[in-house]
Structure 1
Amino acid sequence: MAENRQDAPNPSTGDPTGRRRSTVRSLLRLWPYARAVRGRLAVSATAATLAMLSTLAVPVVLGRIVDGPLARHDLAALWPPVGLLLLLGLVESALFYTRRVVLARPLGRLEAAMRADLYAKLQRLPVSFHDRWGSGQMLSRATTDMNAMRLFLAFPLVFLIVNSVTFLAGIVLMFTQEWRLALIVLLPCVPLVVLTRRFESDYSVTARLAQDQNGDLATVVEESVLGIRILKAFGRHRTMAEHFREQSHRLRRTELRKAHQLANLWAVIVGLPEIALGCALAVGAYLVAHDELSAGTLVAFLSTALALRWPVESLGWLLAYANEAATATDRFFEVMDEPEPEDPGSAHALGAPDGIRFSGVRFRYPDAPDGTPDLLAGIDLHVRSGETMALVGATGSGKTTLTALLPRLYEATGGRITLDGRDITELPRERLRELVAVAFEEPTLFSATVRENVLMGAPGADDRQLASALATAQAGFVEKLPAGVETQVGEQGLSLSGGQRQRLALARAVVGSPPFLVLDDPLSALDVHTEALVERALREVLGSTTALVVAHRPSTVLLADRVAVLADGRIEAVGTHQELLRDCPHYRELMSGEAALVPEGPLVPEEGVVR
């Protein structure tokens, strides 16, 4: 579950690393992206500030109207200030329109750029990273978190600046109107500052928890959609629905906690200023009654105070959104800050033909419990140039892991792997994966055409090579698809059978005629007749490459020149199929499925039993 993963939030800090997070420090990390739109942000903030300041001019005009034309009953003098109020309203509308228009398109580009950077980073990170993180967490970071950061730059950031300037200008204006009333209105400031600091600390934890739970919920939905056949086949849809409800209710409780925290803040930031404003009204009325203050000044003061309600009341909403944006920023940079495996800057040419060598190769998964032995504990193996080597071993012995080390899907924790004498760590990954093609036991296809899926193995391949690869994989079924090789196979290729997906994955591996080929039990989903046809075609391909083939069945083993037996993290024996059948009991057991060792001494029948 998410609570046990690396990216689960620390319950006290809202930060998975356990550090106390600063909202401002987190949001400042957006500056390298926001720098590109800093001019538009400045224009937007300026327009919004002028619009808000124009609202502060309204109380001044109202005060002049009360003390002037209304006090003198001069209707003719009333029209110019009324026209000025109308003009101020039009100016405010135009400025707010400008604020929205100047930011909409550039912030859309900024969000797209950040999403592209996140996606590119995910492609560069090692498989071990993706093993630790739920796919739903990545989806939520690429969608909802991006939206939160863009909206923060579009609205809360601008109005945190605008409202601060408006509030300060309004305070100055109120002090010039009546300093005694201004002091009364400012009395709630101290408790509000203390409350907002506490709110920020608590709300950041809850906001982080809600965003992580939203990622967990996305993972549940994704797994349910991709595994819908299994759920229906075993009648487990109710179980998964219950799991979904649990995750959904957990997120709901967190969102309600957020709403409760925000409601508490709003109750105070709305209530205290209203009480202070009521006190200021009472004192102001007393001053007017004793001729110490004009009615127009009191109206102007109260109108100014009312104009400041929005900057004050919006404080809770803006702080909440700033915390959510800061949390989204943290989650974005948690991925962007992940260290990438080192890669040589330039490709080195391979040496003389020497095939594949594993020398003292060790491996353990990063999250393996302390004290447990390495999965691979010193692999020494030489696959000669042009040779096909079959790799056999019991389930869980590390065969698939060993083959994954060759294209550096995982990094060996010790030892050395070479291709034709060149250490694979000296080759850029892009070049390495051009040299080494892989077909996995569990074939993965993408929502694309058959052509696009196959040519992922060699983007520059032509139609002849495509046809040859499909023929090798005995994928003649493609011709019967509605649009042939241009047929969309659908998400995960679920519109095809398991054997059809496996054959397309095999075609993808061989389409580029790679010098090194890794096949992880590539025929496991095929029927006996199709398997025989594919094996016959594969022999020709394997004759022109150096291959390492994970095998579980004797028919696959017979494709190889030699066989290596993997046991207890080491290569136990290497030889031809016949040699190992003769000399290696473990290999005989793997190939026969029966115990290879027999008790020493004669068999003595039990009494009364005929043998």
Structure 2
Amino acid sequence: MSTNSPPARRRSAARTLLRLWPYVRPVRARWFAAAAIAVVASCLGLVIPLVLKWMVDGPVAARDPAGVWLGALYLLLIGVAEALLFGIRRWLVARPLAGVEAGMRADLYRRLQRLPVAFHDRWPSGQLLSRGTGDLMLVRMFLAFPLTFLLVNGVTIVVGVGIMLVQDWVLGLVVLGPAVPLLWVCVVVEQRYAHAARRAQDQVGDLTTLVEESVLGIRVVKGFGRHLSQARAFRRTALMLRDTELGKARLLAVIWAVIVALPEVAIGAALVLGVLRVADGALSAGTLVAFLSTALALRWPVESIGFLLAMCQEAATATERYFEVLDERPEGEAETRTPAAPEPGERGLRFEGVGFRHADAAPDARPVLDGVDLHIRPGESMALVGATGSGKTTLTSLVPRLHDATSGRITLNGVDITALPREELRARVAVAFEEPTLFSTSVAENVLMGAGENAGREELDRALAVAHADFAHALPEGPDTRVGEQGLSLSGGQRQRLALARAVAGRPEFLVLDDPLSALDVHTEAAVEAALRRVLADTTALIVAHRPSTVLLADRVALLSGGRITAVGTHHELLRTNAEYAHLMSGGPREAPEEPEDSR
């Protein structure tokens, strides 16, 4: 998936940000209290011009030093009170908003775990990572600062304008003159800024994906000497992000220049007019000082509107990106299950007219699977053989519902798998994939992931023995040794054996193995096969196989060709009766069957 573009019908920033309310609701009391305190603190600052008016028209005009010192004391107390109130505001919101961010991140992670494999096939991991880190940081900053201060500054501006109009309505109208052009500039620039912010955040996701892939694939990069091409790709993406950020900076420069310049011109005009009126005796000097002090006190609330609105737009796009993931339908949602009652006489694993096509396949493309019929009897092992790209991995992924069949049905002991809760289904079906994925935890934790919550050392030792993974006991800390990210500190064969141990650790009723021995040497493969035969004696298994030695583990063999099961029999029967199967097992030249274009 490339950079995600905004939806065709984009919500307004306000409507998007309102979706944060369920997360803010639990801490609303502290947030509203903090906002109210900030409003009081900001409005306290507007009392200072009134004190100055009293001092100029009173003690200063009367040459009363005691009155001047009293006015200075008032100003000091107001300043201290303002500082204390802003400190209290910060204390009130820091912990709750950190909790909001943590809760949103936990919800995002839970949703990612529940989303179907098809979703993860489409979305780069860097895009998802950027949503869980940078985007949520922007949301927390919005709740802590721009949201509060848009309210605080708005109230401050209204109160300050009221004070100025009371002081002198003529000068007040002069200062209010730029309001209309300011609003127009804000609306126009912020719309453009919203698109630039979305583009920048998507490009951050692309950059994160590139870095992650380069780090995880560092052996390939170094092995093929591709560090320069990777650096060039990184530079291109980084330059695109730089250009977008510079575009954002230019937009902010425009709005900042207008927001600063127009009020300055208005204040200058009010100063000239005010001095003339003081000279004419129509206005007191104290009133002019109070008016200009109030106008200057409002400079920051007015000037900050530009970047506060910019931060709001960035938070809105971050929120939009966050909910793009949460709005995806997770596995099992909106499913209507029929009672999971087994059909009489049906046992084992059965595929009935099973078809599958990828959701993004062209309408005229052939499906990957088309009318697959296969029955694996209880306790039987079935090897699945076919040419590369014939859909073997896709067929095995349908059993634990990593993907859902688009037609037909699959039953376990007569029960349609769509009628089973996914948790129950995956407790009954264990899977070992061709590409073994290990987590950066210990060997024991990786293996026991396939067993129950209460599994212990006995289950671990048994699983390691079955997979002939006794090398785990020779590691520095034995099975408690951490294997590192993706288990890359181990060899391919070791990782594959641990993945096989994980599959058999829970003594599953049904076992699906996708070419589980491909990375093993001949001697290790023979030892693993010997142990697997004992496991398979009590398990119903479907095994994707490419080598005769793996095929011989199974009781029967099914040949998958052209999206259908074209032959079923023992290994020796198919060698005698099926030319395609004989070619596959011999590894000789053959005419490959026509493959569907979207098979994966």
Question: Structure 2 length as normaliser, TM-score?
Answer: 0.96
Amino acid at match of 2:119: F
- Give the corresponding residue for 1:555: 549
The answer to whether the 8 A contact 1:588-1:596 is kept is: no
Q: Name the SS of the counterpart of 1:457 in structure 2.
A: coil
The answer to whether the 8 A contact 2:337-2:419 is kept is: no
In the alignment, does 2:218 pair up with 1:225?
no
In the alignment, does 2:110 pair up with 1:120?
yes
Deviations 1:100-156 (CA, angstroms, capped at 9, x unpaired):
001111111111111000000000000000011010000000001111111101111
The answer to whether the 8 A contact 1:473-1:534 is kept is: yes
Cα displacement (A) at 1:345: 7.8
- Give the corresponding residue for 1:607: none
Match of 1:437 among 430, 435, 452: 430
Cα distance in 2 between the residues matched to 1:350 and 1:488 = 43
Q: Name the SS of the counterpart of 2:476 in structure 1.
A: coil
- Give the corresponding residue for 1:215: 205
Cα 1:248–1:439 change in 2 (3 A) is: same
In the alignment, does 2:101 pair up with 1:101?
no
- Give the corresponding residue for 1:363: 356
Cα distance in 1 between the residues matched to 2:144 and 2:577 = 73
Cα displacement (A) at 1:354: 0.9
Cα distance in 2 between the residues matched to 1:128 and 1:32 = 29
- Give the corresponding residue for 1:527: 521
Q: Name the SS of the counterpart of 2:181 in structure 1.
A: helix
Deviations 1:383-421 (CA, angstroms, capped at 9, x unpaired):
111100000100001000000000000011111000000
- Give the corresponding residue for 2:329: 339
Q: Name the SS of the counterpart of 1:531 in structure 2.
A: helix
In the alignment, does 2:191 pair up with 1:201?
yes
The answer to whether the 8 A contact 1:360-1:415 is kept is: yes
Amino acid at match of 1:2: S
Identity %: 61
Size of the alignment, in residue pairs?
Answer: 587
- Give the corresponding residue for 1:600: none
In the alignment, does 2:480 pair up with 1:492?
no
Alignment of 1:21-420 (within 5 A): 21-342=11-332, 348=340, 354-420=347-413
- Give the corresponding residue for 2:501: 507
- Give the corresponding residue for 2:594: none
The answer to whether the 8 A contact 1:111-1:150 is kept is: yes
Match of 1:474 among 461, 464, 468: 468
Deviations 1:584-606 (CA, angstroms, capped at 9, x unpaired):
11101111122469xxxxxxxxx
Q: Name the SS of the counterpart of 1:380 in structure 2.
A: strand
Cα displacement (A) at 1:21: 2.9
In the alignment, does 2:445 pair up with 1:452?
yes
Cα distance in 2 between the residues matched to 1:429 and 1:273 = 63
Cα distance in 1 between the residues matched to 2:234 and 2:377 = 52
Q: Name the SS of the counterpart of 2:81 in structure 1.
A: helix
The answer to whether the 8 A contact 1:347-1:431 is kept is: no
Amino acid at match of 2:168: E
Q: Name the SS of the counterpart of 2:560 in structure 1.
A: strand
Cα 1:532–1:210 change in 2 (3 A) is: same
Q: Which segments of 5 or more consecutive residues in structure 1 lack a partner in the other structure? A: 10-14, 598-611
Deviations 1:271-293 (CA, angstroms, capped at 9, x unpaired):
10001110000000110111110
- Give the corresponding residue for 2:577: 583
- Give the corresponding residue for 1:608: none
Cα distance in 1 between the residues matched to 2:127 and 2:238 = 15
Amino acid at match of 2:2: A
The answer to whether the 8 A contact 1:359-1:378 is kept is: yes
In the alignment, does 2:457 pair up with 1:463?
yes
The answer to whether the 8 A contact 2:340-2:416 is kept is: no
> Which of 66-75 and 345-354 deviates more?
345-354
The answer to whether the 8 A contact 1:347-1:428 is kept is: no
Q: Name the SS of the counterpart of 1:389 in structure 2.
A: strand
Cα distance in 1 between the residues matched to 2:169 and 2:374 = 88
Q: Name the SS of the counterpart of 2:449 in structure 1.
A: helix
Cα distance in 2 between the residues matched to 1:443 and 1:20 = 41
Cα distance in 2 between the residues matched to 1:346 and 1:92 = 65
Q: Name the SS of the counterpart of 2:265 in structure 1.
A: helix
In the alignment, does 2:519 pair up with 1:518?
no
Alignment of 1:2-17 (within 5 A): 2-3=2-3, 8-9=4-5, 15=6, 17=7
Cα displacement (A) at 1:348: 4.0
The answer to whether the 8 A contact 1:344-1:427 is kept is: no
Q: Which segments of 5 or more consecutive residues in structure 2 lack a partner in the other structure? A: 592-600
Cα distance in 2 between the residues matched to 1:557 and 1:77 = 102
Cα 1:258–1:528 change in 2 (3 A) is: same
Q: Name the SS of the counterpart of 1:143 in structure 2.
A: helix
Cα displacement (A) at 1:46: 0.8
Cα displacement (A) at 1:371: 1.1
The answer to whether the 8 A contact 1:439-1:522 is kept is: yes
- The ranges of structure 1 where at least 4 consecutive aligned residues each deviate by more than 6 angstroms after the TM superposition are 344-347
The answer to whether the 8 A contact 1:145-1:325 is kept is: yes
Q: Name the SS of the counterpart of 1:444 in structure 2.
A: coil
Cα distance in 2 between the residues matched to 1:103 and 1:361 = 55
Amino acid at match of 2:473: E
Cα distance in 1 between the residues matched to 2:136 and 2:265 = 40
Cα distance in 1 between the residues matched to 2:140 and 2:338 = 37
Amino acid at match of 1:422: V
Cα distance in 2 between the residues matched to 1:595 and 1:383 = 30
